[in-house]
Structure 1
């Protein structure tokens, strides 16, 4: 998995960059004000699976799946309470593959 750097968006505005999604998946730091921006440049839908390592009353929380239609650009919140593993990271995978998908992790301050 490739670690996505968190790009901080400041009140006066910031440049932002999306990178090619890694075929083996990506990780990003989860937290308040953090979100993923995902651009699906593929002709078919792509589904992101966000690992949810937590439990509620001993029961595992199902991983979140978000389907991005072809040609669309979405923003997905990544709060730590849902997505942070023991290392503070959110694990992201792409199906059927990461072809023509670009992604970036951002934090609004």
Structure 2
């Protein structure tokens, strides 16, 4: 898994740098105002999954799967619900990474 860097966007704005999604998945910062930006330039739709590490009454909380249509870009909030207590970061997986790029941005809240 690759550790994605977070761009902190000041009120004056910031340039966003995208990187190729890693075949084995990525990790990123979590918290209020953190967004995972996913750009899918592939001809096929892809699923991005945020792993939810918690449980409720001993039952696993389902992971969040987000469909990213071909040729689109989505912004996905990465709240503290996705924070893995062992690493302090969210784990992200992809059903395919061909022509998929990602970036993490934290905006003021």
TM-score, length-scaled by structure 1: 0.95
Q: Which runs of 4+ in 1 moved over 6 A?
A: none
Partner-residue secondary structure (3-state), 2:44: coil
* Alignment length (residue pairs): 107
User: What CA distance in whole angstroms lies between the structure 2 residues aligned with 1:30 and 1:55?
Assistant: 18
RMSD (Å), alpha carbons: 0.8
Secondary structure in 2 aligned to 1:38? Answer: strand
TM-score by length of 2: 0.95
CA apart distance, 1:60: 1.1
Query: Cα offset for 1:103?
Result: 0.2
Match of 1:94 in 2: 94
Gaps of 5+ in 2: none
Q: Distance in 2 between matches of 1:42 and 1:94?
A: 13
Q: Which moved more, 1:44-53 or 1:56-65?
A: 56-65
SS in 1 for 2:28: strand
Consecutive unaligned residues of structure 1, counting only runs of 5 or more, are: none
d(CA) in 1 for partners of 2:93, 2:60 = 19
Q: Using the alignment, how far apart are the partners of 1:7 and 1:55 within structure 2?
A: 30
Partner of 1:85: 84
